[in-house]
Structure 1
Amino acid sequence: MKTIILIPPSEGKADGGNNKPLKSVSSITASLLDAIKEADPKKLYGLKEKALEKAISANEEVLSSKTMPAIERYTGVVYDAIDYQTLKHKSDFDKKVLIISGLFGLVRPADLIPNYRLKIDKLKAAKLWLDSNSKQLRETFVIDLLPQAQKKAVKYDSGIEVEFVLKKAGKKMPAGHQGKHIKGRFVRWLIENDITDPKHFKNFKEEGYEWTGETFLKEV
């Protein structure tokens, strides 16, 4: 059974691109672009001034702006930790990893995408993508590293949810922002070591996290 690693996109994205604009988009993407035009920008983006103007402009130019591979477009903490350019097994990463985008659904690392701005919990995007995304995950084993918002956009029959949890004074709490970096490191480790079976997760021991058989736990 093929293994797929699901990761979230990042809000931070690189500008520009060296590849041609998209020739076409899916019907779901097209409907979301229409909905974006009708939405209140301040409510949709939750941004102000220059950041708001940039988000509006990016979405207005989705069909005309230059593109770049998704793995280069996304620039957040998870992606910095993956450090794709230094991976020894880039082809394995490209085959196994899928990114859940609010605007484009399941995106492969090499897929060419423009700059855009749309969280998956806006405009019912997760619900719109659910069937399409889930069909693509049939007959696969999923290693799920998604936050709650992205989890609503997928269903799969076989897989495991991987969480990074902190334990302080006997109380457990999500790793939160700190967890983004370790997720990226974990994805890199999975690819570089060709890990597809959760029984081997116990061998990942970075930043003080230990696999309990159900989750990665760190005492703080």
Structure 2
Amino acid sequence: MLFLISPAKTLDFSAAATDKHTQPRSLAHSQGLIDILKQKTEAELMKLMKISEDLATVNRERYQDFEAPFDLSNAKQALLAFKGDVYTGLGADDFSAAELDYAQRHLRILSGLYGLLRPLDLMQPYRLEMGTRLKTAKGKNLYEYWGSSITNLINDDLAKEGHKAVVNLASNEYFSAVQPKELKAELYQVAFKEYRNGGYKIIAFFAKKARGMMCRYAVKNNIAEPEELKGFDMDGYAFNEGLSGPREFVFTRES
């Protein structure tokens, strides 16, 4: 079983608690994007990414400083570098060596710059959301740039690890970089809903954190099969059979 999650805008590049790491597998593609981004002015980045001048300055400097090869002196493991709602729920900083190994085999992070990251893949700081309409020789946006390469990597990992299922815990923006019909595994969709005003609704802030918590639940319990996810009960959530389908798992909680 392979879990897919989104990255985060917030980053933490302080020292990691482990030296264990791997290299991103699509660095040549990443470098192609960096070569384009390096040519952008701050004003162009502000318009392209809809960000402030300060953020444009920070990220232009990041693109200029981007340099391979990656090592622990200039990069950090992706799972430990991303900090945001999903990663708050995931809480990977306290993972044991065995739990990091489970994450490395079962968790994948979709990325606008790196394509598909394993948890221990090193990365340098960046901002490049998957929905960015960055023109390249391959097309008008990052979905066209990455094409089938992300799906191909997922399929490679499915075959290598013997996984039979993909569990989507990524946002629509990021999962749109995957070609579901080409996945060589059963696809499961998961939703988290809050009870509000007489009905259950998805509230983004809570849903993001819950996606991370489900990954944490899988890691801590060494989950092997999708059906085992129905036991997820963190932070008041419970599997809602009435709202769920065979491959659509809905978890709800009361206000």
Q: TM-score range by the shorter chain?
A: 0.7 to 0.9
Cα deviation digits, residues 105-130 of structure 1 (max 9, x gap): 10111111111110011121133224
**Contact 1:45–1:55 (CA under 8 A) maintained in structure 2:** no
1:87 paired to 2:106? no
CA RMSD of aligned residues (A): 2.5
**Contact 1:5–1:97 (CA under 8 A) maintained in structure 2:** yes
Aligned ranges for residues 1-220 of structure 1 at < 5 Å?
Answer: 3-15=1-13, 26-39=27-40, 40-63=44-67, 66-88=74-96, 89-122=99-132, 123=134, 124-138=141-155, 139=158, 140=163, 141-155=165-179, 156-157=183-184, 158-212=186-240, 213=244, 214-220=249-255
Which blocks of at least 5 consecutive residues in structure 1 are unaligned?
none
Distance in 2 (CA, whole Å) between partners of 1:25 and 1:132 is: 9
Distance in 2 (CA, whole Å) between partners of 1:120 and 1:113 is: 16
Count of residues in Structure 1 that have an aligned counterpart in Structure 2: 216
Counterpart residue type for residue 85 of structure 2: V
Distance in 2 (CA, whole Å) between partners of 1:44 and 1:14 is: 24
Dislocated runs of 4+, deviation >3 Å: 15-19, 22-27
Counterpart residue type for residue 30 of structure 1: Q
Cα deviation digits, residues 114-158 of structure 1 (max 9, x gap): 111100111211332241111122244211100000011112242
Which blocks of at least 5 consecutive residues in structure 2 are unaligned?
135-140
Change (3 A) 1:119 1:17: farther
TM-score normalised to structure 2 length: 0.76
TM-score normalised to structure 1 length: 0.87
**Contact 2:26–2:115 (CA under 8 A) maintained in structure 1:** no
Counterpart residue type for residue 144 of structure 1: N
Distance in 1 (CA, whole Å) between partners of 2:25 and 2:192 is: 38
Structure 1 residue 159 displacement after superposition:
2.0
**Contact 1:106–1:133 (CA under 8 A) maintained in structure 2:** yes
Identity rate, percent: 22
Distance in 1 (CA, whole Å) between partners of 2:89 and 2:224 is: 20
Cα deviation digits, residues 63-112 of structure 1 (max 9, x gap): 26811111222111222222212124221112211111100110111111
Structure 1 residue 190 displacement after superposition:
0.5
